[in-house]
A and B are shown apart, each in its own frame.
Chain A
Amino acid sequence: MRYLPLTPEDRAEMLARIGVASVDELFVDIPADKRETALPRLALHKSELEVERTLARLAGQNVPAGSVPFFVGAGAYRHHVPATVDHLIQRSEFLTSYTPYQPEIAQGTLQYLFEFQTQVAELTAMEVANASMYDGSTAAAEAVLMAHRVTRRRKAVLAGNLHPHYRSTIETVSRYAADEVVALPPAPFGEEDLITPIDDTVSCVVVQSPDVFGNLVDLKPIAEAAHKAGALLVAVFTEAVALGLIEPPGAQGADIVVGEGQSIGNALNFGGPYVGLFATRQKFVRQMPGRLAGETVDAEGRRGFVLTLSTREQHIRREKATSNICTNSGLCALAFTIHMSLLGKTGLTRLARANHAAACDLADRLAAVKGASVVNDTFFNEFTLRVPGPAADVVEKLAAKGILAGVPYSRLAPKSGLDDLILVAATETTTEDDRAAYAAALKEVL
């Protein structure tokens, strides 16, 4: 076995030092009648070549996004990631390190987390951000729990235009914690009324912008109504690149901002690992879940970084902890921060414009197809296409023509009755030929 350095002679010498005759004597605490004597019924070890063949065969049965005209979004987006990003995150000192519990030999991790926190705060126009969460949806669930702690209320109002999987993630946690959730029905065609349900029993209103249908939402009036009732505004986004071009939630009165950071620096990965972004106002920082890197000095007065405010955490407070989380998405946060450093304001703005331009062009082309219409007045890089009849069938027909055309809304919310809608995303990776091919194929299948 190429991964195991001990030789039979080493093992014999080590057993002698311990004073046992065989390694089985070290497993005597496992009840004898429960100990496995036979090997697991699994294949024996394989060479590197054999493992590569086995996994490459499985990978070959999938259709990678880069191999076809590709328009699938709805919470995960295909962007071009500079080669530098993947090279740097594979530096073994980043890749194979652990949580920076010994800050003197983890300044690399701690400094990039501090940089990440600053970038996320700047992007969202918030005061502070944490060192990342599992993903956008779990960050949204934690935001609701945090709003409950801050307001000492236990009822959340969820926009109907929140991504249904985010809504479901929040609802699952809330159900088991016996918290109340008011989820509004989806409203793809018009502005939804989020203000009426807000009263003084509500801890937070959770609003997504761009919403799941792609509409851009003016958060200011909702923030005002929430604050008047003593509630918080939790703003959600699933496409971080959008914030390069649209007004950030922090500038519109949001109290907690959460979102998916996958689209900057990270691959699609069939759903994970991703990187949740979480930002809030300074006054709530001790109620914020997750890890935080903070600045301090060493014994010689040099600037350095440490994990801080750990008194909120599970390893100290146990059942009184702010959350049960004991990790983050460190490496995905690193990919985010490297890509963001390469972009800078100038690059991010250009990237966002390229995305918006591609989506506008695609929307115009698809809206021109007889029978199809675009439901949005506003959007960033994703919009909703209305087709005659079941959208799922249209998407399947287009897939058969080699075009991955988007996500039927009915796949996210089967019981919504909105079976004729397709969520369509275009990014800078979408070429003009791809967009033309989509319009031509749509014309054929409708």
Chain B
Amino acid sequence: MNREGRGATTPHSIALTGPQTFTGNRALDLEEGLIFEIGRTEVTGVDIPEPAPFRERLGTQARTAPLDLPGLSEPEAMRHYVRLSRMNYGIDSGLFPLGSCTMKHNPRLNEKMARLPGFADIHPLQPQSTVKGALGLMAELSRYLLELTGMQAVALTPKAGAHGELCGMMAIKAAHAARGDGATRHVVLVPESAHGTNPATAALIGYQVRSIPARADGTVDPEAVKSALGPEVAALMLTNPNTCGLFERDVVAIAEAVHGAGAYFYSDGANFNAILGKVRIADLGVDAMHINLHKTFSTPHGGGGPGAGPVVLSDALAPFAPVPALVATADGLALVEDEGAEGAQQALGRMSAFHGQMGMFVRALAWMLSHGADGMRQASEDAVLSANYIRASLMDLMSAPFAERPAMHEALFDDAWLAGTGLTTLDVAKALIDEGYHPMTVYFPLVVHGAMLIEPTESESKASLDLFIAALRDLAMAAKAGDKERFLGAPYYAPRRRLDETRAARAPVLRWVKPAPVADAAE
């Protein structure tokens, strides 16, 4: 029993045919306790020889605090984590149409390359003369990113998309300070359809956020931007393609207005995968844009990370790129690591301890080389084609806002089609789990009521798309026919039925706590 007073595991009770089982398991459907329940502190799965006697140098700092860490033998550890893995859905399990998250195929070649000892087993601070290939790889990745965007410089160090946004916005703040209007420009314009990280990033470095409403067609109105601009505005942050899955077709006019007012134009590049090889963002007037390598270039998401968020910069912002920065010298490539060093005089500072997500750089470059110029453009086209195909195939049953414009890489639906059914977007998502699919993104973007955002990516075959469409059509018809039980009870067939998120937030249990001895448990 844990401190909540519940058993460690309880048997399934789904009313399926067949008897209850002694273990609570159902054949391959296995329950698995926590390591704290199955491990013991005296067990270990590694053999480490005891060193010869030596004089310790710990002074007064030897550990006296308890260390209640359970160990597992190697076979126990294998089973524990294999069983856990089977309770997860990944892109290798099936279609994973999470809009704005870009769950595309993760080639295993990329994993193999990232694990070459020449990449995985090198230290960020070993002499630069011993890592020439790593610097060469960073230079090659930079060249690819600059060619694909048309921009002037790239900062590789940011560790995720939001970190890249922070880097880009710091570069903008540094540029304003350098030209003398840093004190007066304290406002950042953020359309309401932006990713939530955009306003959070601007606020983090002291900007006041001013929201720009979307117009009826789901895009930003350049007139609304113009009327919000003024001498106090430092930058505009625009997500393009935006979170409604639309390309901001007035982006050039917006960029001109922003520049005309003396502000900079930050573009959120999370959806760059839709336009790869189709347009160079430098031609649109962008000053800075982060690129989520994990999304566009397929580095695995690993349950939510790690990501990588390099930032491409315009001429105006290039001098402010953070350290460490890769530079070409007479002797070849070198990393400038110090803010005061030659070649880094105006660097905005340092974003993290080392050079960035090298492991992700290798994976992203492997994807780029495998696709080539031709394959990358084809990938964007296929991603956009697949999204529009899904939308066109469901329009008669489900409601799709902004459908007068082509969708980019994701198809957006709302919940108007559920009116009168007593069902919600969440119910549809949970029923989709029973059909063997990871649900789409739900309730995002916020500008659409009950949003369902479907991003199939370029990785799905037509047969896969057709089966997904057929499943959604069946669900839509069942919802309209009043088959509420199929939805409200869903998921029936997942490792867990619906989980109580309110309870988790009200009285947070964030770690395992050793249960009190039975004698003390007054129940």
Contacts and interface: CB of A to CB of B under 8 A. Distances in A.
A272 B158 CA distance: 10
A21 interface: no
A331 B136 contact: no
A368 interface: no
A192 to B, nearest CB: 16
A102 interface: yes
B287 interface: no
A51 B136 CA distance: 15
A414 B196 contact: no
A203 interface: no
Contact of A169 (B96, B203, B352, B508): B352
Interface in B256-271: none
B46 A172 contact: no
B494 A3 contact: no
Interface in B68-83: 68-72, 74, 77-78, 80-82
Contact of B6 (A50, A303, A361): A303
B121 A326 contact: no
A196 interface: no
Contact of A272 (B204, B354, B371, B384): B354
B252 A31 contact: yes
B389 A61 contact: no
Given A93-B92, A129-B511, A102 B304 contact: no
B421 interface: no
Among B39, B45, B163, B386, find the residue whose CB has the most chain A CB atoms closer than 10 A. Answer: B45
Interface stretch (A40-48, A227-235, A435-443): A40-48
Given A34-B283, A65-B122, A294-B508, A346 B205 contact: no
Interface in A70-102: 70, 72, 74-76, 78, 82, 84, 86, 88-102
Contacts of B357: 269, 272-273
Contacts, number: 740
A5 B71 contact: no
A291 interface: yes
Nearest to A77: B123
Interface string B41-61: 111111011111011111111
Interface in B319-350: 322, 337-341, 348-350
Interface in A320-350: 320-321, 323-332, 334, 338, 340-350
Nearest to A279: B511
A296 B126 contact: no
A376 B354 CA distance: 25
Contacts of A320: 203
Given A23-B381, A39-B277, A45-B370, A18 B301 contact: no
Interface in A27-62: 27-31, 34-36, 39-46, 48, 50-52, 54-62
Contacts of B338: 414
Given A52-B109, A321-B200, A350-B44, A97 B90 contact: yes
Contacts of A291: 304
Interface in A336-375: 338, 340-351, 353-354, 356-361, 363
A404 B125 CA distance: 10
A36 B6 CA distance: 61
B374 A46 contact: no
A187 interface: no
A424 to B, nearest CB: 12
A294 B462 CA distance: 39
A6 B10 contact: no
B70 A303 contact: no
Nearest to B251: A31
A5 B511 CA distance: 43
A213 interface: no
B438 A105 contact: yes
A94 B64 contact: no
A278 interface: no
Contacts of A274: 354
B119 interface: yes
A306 interface: yes
Given A45-B371, A94-B85, A271 B355 contact: yes
Interface stretch (B223-231, B360-368, B477-485): B360-368
B181 interface: no
7 contacts: A4-B375, A41-B147, A55-B137, A103-B499, A107-B84, A125-B65, A134-B305
